Chain A
Amino acid sequence: MQVTITINGESVSRDVEPRQLLVHFIRETPGLTGTHWGCDTSNCGACVVLMDGKPVKACTTLAAMCEGHEIRTVESLEVDGRLDPVQEGFHEKHALHCGFCTPGMLMTSRALLDENPNPTEDEIRTAISGGICRCTGYKNIVAAIRWAAEQEAATRQGA
């Protein structure tokens, strides 16, 4: 079946099997391998992308379900050589080790801050609890998201 999905602002059209998973569609068709696959069961969150601004797990979303929707992946965060504050925050606060969960964590963080620009620690922990990081113990991920929230608040004030 023919499926057309807007991925990072580009319209991508392809003939796929109805069963094809969104994570495979993204990784194969535009070759955006930043979106990872880790568990098959919606538990680990390595595959989180934004669908119309909301985080979804691409390993349990069919490509066909995304017809006409807008998908954002980790590759969209940096714009014109400028990192997104969540990307900077993860680097500043050492919120990644092996990097495998990072794209999903970054997209989850972006969606959180878009909806709640000033989250508490509890709100951050709840927001990222759909994902597993095996390396960091989450402490620095929480700090990174707080860091990004404060950066964005400072930018808003300055604007």
Chain B
Amino acid sequence: MATVENLPSARAERPIGFGRLKRKEDARFIRGKGTYLDDISLPGMMHGAMLRSPFAHARIVSIDTSRALAHPNVAAVVTAKDLETLGLAWMPTISYDTQAVLAGDKVRFQGQEVAFVIATDEYSARDALPLIDVEYEPLPAVVNARKALDADAPLIRDDKDGQTSNLASPTWEAGDEEATDSAFAEADTVVSRDIIYPRCHPAPLETCGMIADFNPETGQLDIYNGNQAPHAHRTVYAHVAGLAEHKIRIMCNDIGGGFGNKVPVYPGYVCAIAGSIVAGVPVKWVEDRTENLVSTGFARDYVMQAEMCSKDGKITGLRVDVIADHGAFDSTAQPTKFPAGFFHICCGSYDLQASHVKVKAVYTNKAPGGVAYRCSFRITEAVYLVERMVDALALEMGADPIDLRMRSFIGPEQFPYETTTGWTYDSGNYAETMKVAMGIAGYEDLRREQVEKRARGELMGIGVSFFTEGVGAGPRKHMDILGLSMNDGADLRVHPSGKAVVSLSAQTQGQGHETTFAQIVAEELGIPPEDVQVRHGDTDKSPYGLGTYGSRSTPVSGAAVAVVSRKVRDKARQIAATMLETRPEDLAWEKGRWYVKGDPEKEALIEDIAVRAYSGETLPEGMEGGLDAQVIYDPPNLTYPYGAYIAVVDVDPETAEVKVRRFIAVDDCGVRINPMIVDGQIHGGLAEGIGIALMEVITFDEEGNCLNSSFMDYLIPTALECPDFELGETVTPCPHHPLGAKGVGESPNVGSPPAIVNAVIDALHESHGVSHIDMPCTPARVWAAMQGRPEPPQ
């Protein structure tokens, strides 16, 4: 199925390496032959369904399961009391908090897990849910992050010893407060904004689910589950359930999208495992769409107060104070040595004099999460904030937003560049990338068109954003999750026939790993990509590592695969030297072969070396047979991809509907292994960014009822809302990554919302005096802003 076109190769008959290789994995997907979780059925398998709380905050007075248990097809009903006997009533979150698996004392958000039914089929399991009688005593709820800090706010986490308020964290700080005060004192222009990045949801098209299959005779627990970090999940289950880690096997087959939503461990998973242990049969649990939207990992929900200043036409300082809404349980995903996630990368792409950032987290009666939605640990919020503030500053100064950015960029000669919050950016040439975007957009022409349209009363906006991201978490000296280093393994085995299997700890959810990682081996060893099998997703058959999220697959796992390939290549060199009766240092490498320097006809092809490695013939002194290697890769730094995005929008003056007419995205993600897949990643992230900017939002009423609990009201862009994206590229290799790659998956989601919002404001500022609007820019909210009464999203 894999076909190759236009691939550079030293030897024409051996088309290998980087390029627009069509995907290997397509073969099964276009035939409807993928294996997603719900496609799997095991003999004797039963089905689980979850009873959820109708209240956002209520004391549980009693739970009576007798009517449900009387249902002829129901095998068991599990409640918190049952879990307590197994020690499973509460589980740790990835932020060192605790989360109720099933609510026992009270419910703390609408949709919280209360009881788990196991029945012979899914329809019966769901039929039994209303037969469980739960008596609730409703309590006042709080869903607004600021109000959660009021003295009279209801205390949500009364289960925690010593918890007397809804603060979920101390105040985290980064940067230099004093230096920032000085920068502001010396500034000639200062702007301030209250900016909300509203709660939204990754909403992968396949919802979350699990099949747990516990064998009481052997103590073996087999888990089928689509998650983004199978090895880390296995470790968590070993701790939570007190099971032996070596007897837990997680098998992730095909995953219908993740975007961060499939990083956490959810109560439904623990219930499926407990259910299988209790019922003695495999138990499948698959949530429906409403369950996915109301209970699983949301994203964002940052309430930000910011000030930015400039001096002599250049951005000099930034001050930020954030309240992070973490919901009822703090299960936000973040490397724990940086408790505010990567938010404090918020100094952006600019050579600031100083910055100071504060973040504190609160509990509210909303679903837990705070996972990424195609975002590295709060970088999206940071980029949105800084790019909105730069535009606010440009507006105040009467400057062109691109000119202000150009004047303030970190210069190419300043890399490696240490930011005012302590991050070391690896490489970049920002102005160059901005110019490419301006060229594709025809920026000057667009501004002229805008002037003409304004004269006719038409509302056209041009919005710019320039982002720098830190991805590829991460160096073990700086970061970990639950004490696990954020490293990734790769295991490469070249077989006697010269064909290879590479096993990864990264976990694709559609990113094309089976193709890209085969290309890396191909590039490094000269084995054609169709002869390299990429194995992942089975904890028994892949090395340990932390999985795929935060654009870390290529920066970490990709590097691991390059390094392991080079280890094999080094071993091949030793063997080739024996074969060619020369010294290893006299050999030179060319894709697919070692040859004698100065005598290129004298060669050993990789497949011949493989035969030799497994044969009975002599190997170098002391060398073991075989052509295998294994590595665990610890990245020396994050990688810092960046990009320049320009959005062109039209706002209908009658309906306030925003139409994204054009979107120009110029990404610099370093070296591109498969440019076709990179482009595809950018297209997809841009669509998500358009969704977030214009329509995707999770809101609640005062009582904590979720108002966006299905795709009828959690709106996702279709083909009609997305323009024909226009892409460009610059390539600034990452200096510390073995392939020079930086990672790209989340860049378009990170960079596009501020460009669109900036464009909406640009369309409405002159005619309607709009200088701020919060997302999503729905017609109703844009209309309100046009009438001079902008509304916060919550």
Contacts of A83 in B (CB 8 A): 30
Contacts of B720 in A (CB 8 A): 125-126, 129
Q: Least Cβ distance of B592 to chain A in Å?
A: 27
Which of A27, A77, A128 is the one whose CB lies under 8 Å from B718? Answer: A128
Does A50 belong to the interface (CB within 8 Å)? no
Beyond A43-B710, A133-B684: 13 further Cβ-contacts under 8 Å? A41-B711, A46-B205, A74-B32, A75-B32, A78-B31, A97-B510, A97-B512, A97-B680, A98-B255, A98-B510, A134-B204, A136-B680, A142-B724
Within 8 A of B (CB), among A98-150: 98-103, 106, 121, 124-126, 128-142
**Interface class of chain B by DSSP:** loop
Known: A38-B206, A137-B683. A32 touches B257 (CB 8 A): no
Does B29 belong to the interface (CB within 8 Å)? yes
Does B96 belong to the interface (CB within 8 Å)? no
Does B702 belong to the interface (CB within 8 Å)? no
Do B22 and A94 have beta carbons less than 8 Å apart?
yes
Do B1 and A139 have beta carbons less than 8 Å apart?
no
Contacts of A138 in B (CB 8 A): 683, 687, 718-719, 722
Which of A19, A37, A96, A140 is the one whose CB lies under 8 Å from B29? Answer: A96
Which of B27, B203, B511 is the one whose CB lies under 8 Å from A134? Answer: B203
A136 to B712, CA, bound (A): 21
Within 8 A of A (CB), among B699-733: 710-712, 716, 718-720, 722, 724-725
Do A132 and B711 have beta carbons less than 8 Å apart?
yes
Known: A101-B205, A139-B725. A40 touches B684 (CB 8 A): no
A158 to B360, CA, bound (A): 68
Do B26 and A38 have beta carbons less than 8 Å apart?
no
Do A94 and B289 have beta carbons less than 8 Å apart?
no
A36 to B724, CA, bound (A): 27
Does B123 belong to the interface (CB within 8 Å)? yes
Which of A27, A74, A98, A128 is the one whose CB lies under 8 Å from B254? Answer: A98
Contact count band on A = 35 or more
* Among B206, B290, B725, residue most surrounded by chain A Cβ atoms (within 10 Å): B206
The 4 A-B pairs of least Cβ separation, nearest first, read: A34-B32, A98-B510, A99-B29, A100-B256
Do B31 and A98 have beta carbons less than 8 Å apart?
no
Known: A40-B710, A129-B720, A134-B203. A96 touches B123 (CB 8 A): no
Do B36 and A94 have beta carbons less than 8 Å apart?
no
* Among A27, A96, A106, A130, residue most surrounded by chain B Cβ atoms (within 10 Å): A96
Q: Least Cβ distance of B712 to chain A in Å?
A: 5
Do B256 and A98 have beta carbons less than 8 Å apart?
yes
Does B686 belong to the interface (CB within 8 Å)? yes
Give 18 A-B contacts (CB < 8 Å), ordered by A residue.
A38-B205, A38-B206, A38-B289, A39-B711, A46-B205, A87-B30, A87-B31, A100-B36, A130-B718, A132-B716, A133-B684, A134-B204, A134-B205, A134-B259, A135-B680, A138-B687, A138-B722, A142-B724
Q: Least Cβ distance of A108 to chain B in Å?
A: 10
Contacts of B290 in A (CB 8 A): 40
* Among B207, B254, B511, B711, residue most surrounded by chain A Cβ atoms (within 10 Å): B711
Q: A-contacting residues of B (Cβ < 8 Å)?
A: 1, 22-23, 25-34, 36, 38-39, 123, 203-207, 254-257, 259, 288-290, 509-512, 676-677, 679-688, 710-712, 716, 718-720, 722, 724-725
Contacts of B684 in A (CB 8 A): 97, 133-137
Contacts of B683 in A (CB 8 A): 136-140
A73 to B31, CA, bound (A): 10
Known: A32-B32, A134-B203, A136-B680. A99 touches B254 (CB 8 A): yes
Q: Least Cβ distance of A58 to chain B in Å?
A: 13
A136 to B682, CA, bound (A): 8
Do A36 and B725 have beta carbons less than 8 Å apart?
no
Contacts of B207 in A (CB 8 A): 38
A35 to B207, CA, bound (A): 15
A157 to B236, CA, bound (A): 60
A157 to B757, CA, bound (A): 48
Do A132 and B205 have beta carbons less than 8 Å apart?
yes
A139 to B685, CA, bound (A): 12
Contacts of A77 in B (CB 8 A): 31
Contacts of A124 in B (CB 8 A): 719
A138 to B721, CA, bound (A): 10
Q: Least Cβ distance of B677 to chain A in Å?
A: 7
Q: Least Cβ distance of B678 to chain A in Å?
A: 10
Do A91 and B23 have beta carbons less than 8 Å apart?
yes
Does A92 belong to the interface (CB within 8 Å)? yes
A128 to B718, CA, bound (A): 8
Do A73 and B26 have beta carbons less than 8 Å apart?
no
Q: Least Cβ distance of A138 to chain B in Å?
A: 4
* Among B39, B207, B289, B685, residue most surrounded by chain A Cβ atoms (within 10 Å): B289
Contacts of B23 in A (CB 8 A): 91, 94
Which of B27, B685, B719 is the one whose CB lies under 8 Å from A142? Answer: B719
Which of A90, A96, A121, A129 is the one whose CB lies under 8 Å from B724? Answer: A121
A20 to B126, CA, bound (A): 13
Contacts of B205 in A (CB 8 A): 36, 38, 44, 46, 98, 100-101, 132-134
Residue of B nearest to A100 (CB): B256
Residue of A nearest to B27 (CB): A91
Do A37 and B32 have beta carbons less than 8 Å apart?
no
Q: Least Cβ distance of A35 to chain B in Å?
A: 7
Q: Least Cβ distance of A140 to chain B in Å?
A: 6
Residue of A nearest to B254 (CB): A99
Q: Least Cβ distance of A67 to chain B in Å?
A: 20
A20 to B684, CA, bound (A): 34
Contacts of A137 in B (CB 8 A): 682-687, 722, 725
Contacts of A96 in B (CB 8 A): 26, 29-30, 510
Q: Least Cβ distance of B305 to chain A in Å?
A: 32
Contacts of B680 in A (CB 8 A): 94, 97, 135-136, 140
Contacts of A125 in B (CB 8 A): 719-720
